[in-house]
Amino acid sequence: MSKSLQQKQGIVVSKSGDKTIKVSVKTRKRHPFYKKVVNVTWSALVHDEKNEAKVGDYVNFVSCRPLSAKKTWRLINIQGANSWFNKSPY
């Protein structure tokens, strides 16, 4: 029996502890009544086994068994760095 896993992509917004990153995922949905396209943002705690993701990186992650109370996603790969995210205006 093969269970299809959900695969998502997003941007790392923080490193919250050892082997854990917080990833922000942006989607667009149409409102059911007003029919306007609305931007929806949600965040997920993702397990990063090798501690290789940094803040601002684009990552792919997949659902897995619960690793802790809030962590049910696992990192697949890092697509690339977001150059403007790490630059400080000061």
Rounded to a whole number of angstroms, the distance between the first and last alpha carbons of the chain is 54
Q: How confident is the model at residue 4 (pLDDT cuts 50, 70, 90)?
A: confident
Q: For 6-40, what is each residue's pLDDT tens digit? A: 999 999 999 988 999 999 999 999 999 999 999 99
pLDDT at 80: 84
Cβ contacts of residue 63 below 8 Å, gap of 6+? Answer: 5, 6, 7, 72, 73, 74
Q: For 34-87, what is each residue's pLDDT tens digit? A: 999 999 999 999 999 999 999 999 999 999 999 999 999 999 999 987 766 655
The answer to whether the pTM exceeds 0.85 is no
* Residue 49: both structure tokens together: 């086994």
- Angstrom distances, CA of residue 87 to CA of 21, 47, 54, 82: 20, 25, 13, 10
